[in-house]
Amino acid sequence: MKLENHNKLTDALGDDHIATSAENPIRKDAFLLSDSEKIDAIQADVKNILNTLGMDLTDDSLKGTPKRVAKMFVNEIFGGLSPEKKPQASTFENKYNYGEMLVEKNITLYSTCEHHLLPIVGKAHIAYISNGTVVGLSKMNRIVDYFAKRPQVQERLTIQIVKELQIILNTDDVACVIDAKHLCVNSRGIRDIDSSTVTSEYGGQFKNTEIKREFLDYIKFNTEDKRI
């Protein structure tokens, strides 16, 4: 009966895009198993899924698929679930007294929709105003990548990036805009290949209309190298 009620609830929700919290719903016992133990367990589960679908796992093309998928889940696309893989973001004193906003735009983003486990692909744009410290540019990309490598909801991902940088930089003056395509919309369901989702989170001075507009104007700049 409990399973039946659960199925009725999920059917009622359908494809609704919901998020329950600004934190990923991770169980307290999530890290009791080692990565190798998780790979073994997921490998068996993937094998069962493919068998259930009627695939012949003795075929040379498929026999290694369960192991490949399991390793990919643990080591790659969901690697951001592990606290041990959180990037160390050292800060430095703003000795040159740069007082304007710093914008890191067009950060390539690959994530996974937690509702259908299909890819989310897009760009993140980040800005902050120094409160006396600065962070290495590549660390901003790594922070995006770390929080993206989880089963995610785009709204949550946007908030997590801003909160993490606010902690690292000891300032509320951080903003993030993400523009991404969700394959759960583009490749299934409504199959709208042209639509994308835009989310934003603004902290501190970025809530000011003029500063927010300046940030958004920077995002519009065409900085592509035409020689490439």
Mean pLDDT of all residues in 35-50: 98
Mean pLDDT of all residues in 3-12: 50
pLDDT for 90 beyond 50 = yes
Rounded-to-integer distance, Cα 213 and Cα 200, Å: 13
- What is residue 191's predicted lDDT score, i.e. its pLDDT? 86
- What is residue 89's predicted lDDT score, i.e. its pLDDT? 84
- What is residue 17's predicted lDDT score, i.e. its pLDDT? 55
Instruction: Yes or no: say if 201 and 175 are a contact pair by the CB < 8 Å rule.
Output: yes
Rounded-to-integer distance, Cα 206 and Cα 80, Å: 27
- What is residue 86's predicted lDDT score, i.e. its pLDDT? 94
113 is catalytic: yes
6 is catalytic: no
Euclidean distance between the first and the last CA atom of the chain, given in angstroms as a whole number: 59
* CA–CA distances in Å: residue 210 to residues 37, 97, 98, 163: 52, 22, 19, 22
- The segment(s) of the chain belonging to CATH 1.10.286.10 are 33-77
182 is catalytic: yes
- For domain 91-220, which CATH number applies: 3.40.640.10, 3.30.1130.10, 3.40.50.300, 3.40.1190.10? 3.30.1130.10
- The segment(s) of the chain belonging to CATH 3.30.1130.10 are 91-220
- For domain 33-77, which CATH number applies: 3.40.720.10, 3.30.930.10, 1.10.3370.10, 1.10.286.10? 1.10.286.10
166 is catalytic: no
Residues in the chain: 228
Band (pLDDT 50/70/90 cuts) for residue 211 is: very high
Of 43, 104, 114, 125, catalytic: 114
- What is residue 6's predicted lDDT score, i.e. its pLDDT? 47
17 is catalytic: no
Mean pLDDT of all residues in 163-190: 95
115 is catalytic: yes
Furthest C-alpha separation in the chain? 65
pLDDT for 47 beyond 50 = yes
* CA–CA distances in Å: residue 170 to residues 12, 87, 92, 167, 190: 43, 17, 12, 5, 43
- What is residue 9's predicted lDDT score, i.e. its pLDDT? 45
Band (pLDDT 50/70/90 cuts) for residue 140 is: very high
- What is residue 22's predicted lDDT score, i.e. its pLDDT? 85
